[in-house]
Chain A
Amino acid sequence: MLQPLLGGMIIGLAAGVLWFFNGRILGVSGILGGILSPTKGDTLWRILFFLGIFSGALLCYHFDPTAFDIAGLSPTRLLTAGILVGFGTRMGNGCTSGHGVCGMGRFSLRSILATFIFMAFGALTIGIVRHVLGGV
């Protein structure tokens, strides 16, 4: 309980920093989307955000590689999942960070609904994969 709570609080702080300093919502899919469809003068901060992510990741991986325990799924499954997540988060304008943390924290009706929907369909999907299809 302590690690998830502490980690969650740091995630909230990260989103708070981006809001308090830069006036931006921390939505990973949106920040990435803005790099893939760049507008002039609105790209560099996004790149720096990802450089920050990569630096923190290297740091954490160095001190505790077990924090990145990979599930070891088939390449087809990983690629398919990635495509669905990329498509869905652009279509729905947000992912776990933008809707699930920032939107929920702002009590946005759209985000509360989106979070409820993606969690429900996430549960449904892994439920079907494991308990109907007998997969991992």
Chain B
Amino acid sequence: MKLLFGSFLSGLLFSIGLSISGMTQPKKVLAFLDLFGNWDPSLLWVMIGAITVYSVTYRLGLANRSPLFSPTFHIPELKSVDKFLVFGAIIFGIGWGLAGFCPGPALTSLMTLQKDPFLFCLGLILGMFIFKQLRQWKAL
């Protein structure tokens, strides 16, 4: 139960942060990525703010023996750089630069009931299924 409260609170804060930061405005995101055009660097501050606060809370958390509501920390196990990481990031980057949406802001924007985030999220789920299927067929 407490665990569910933790994830609800986190999701709530997350979408509020995204909305305030400007990340839910694809036009702004594209202007941030458009280094070769009329570059808008303001979203750099989002990264600086988020990384700074998280790096502190991450360490504060680790200083406890376990999370408050759960027995263990789920620390990502993958450590080495492989072709999945590199090609995955390339493909994601191309999609991000094409529409200015990444998963968090797109899912957040669903609540506006506009067609843009809806179409993007449809593709998002489709793309995830395609990858899962290819993995199951051992094609990748």
Contacts and interface: CB of A to CB of B under 8 A. Distances in A.
A, B co-complexed: yes
Interface string B121-135: 111111111111000
A108 to B, nearest CB: 7
20 contacts: A7-B49, A10-B17, A15-B57, A16-B57, A17-B9, A19-B54, A19-B58, A28-B102, A32-B128, A56-B11, A60-B19, A61-B19, A68-B19, A83-B127, A88-B95, A96-B104, A97-B102, A104-B55, A121-B94, A123-B97
Describe B's contact surface by its main secondary structure: helix
Contact of A17 (B10, B79, B80): B10
Contacts of B104: 28, 53, 95-97
Given A72-B116, A81-B99, A83-B95, A54 B46 contact: no
B30 to A, nearest CB: 5
Contacts of B115: 75
Contact of A49 (B11, B33, B120, B122): B11
Question: Which size bracket describes the interface of B in this complex?
Answer: 35 or more
Describe A's contact surface by its main secondary structure: helix
B113 to A, nearest CB: 9
Nearest to A71: B26
A96 to B, nearest CB: 4
Contacts of B4: 44-45, 48
Interface string A37-64: 1000000111011111111111111001
A84 B91 contact: yes
Contacts of B48: 5, 8
Contact of B20 (A53, A60, A61): A60
B21 A8 contact: yes
Contact of B93 (A21, A61, A90, A122): A122
A123 B14 contact: no
B118 to A, nearest CB: 9
A13 to B, nearest CB: 6
A96 B2 CA distance: 27
A67 B67 CA distance: 33
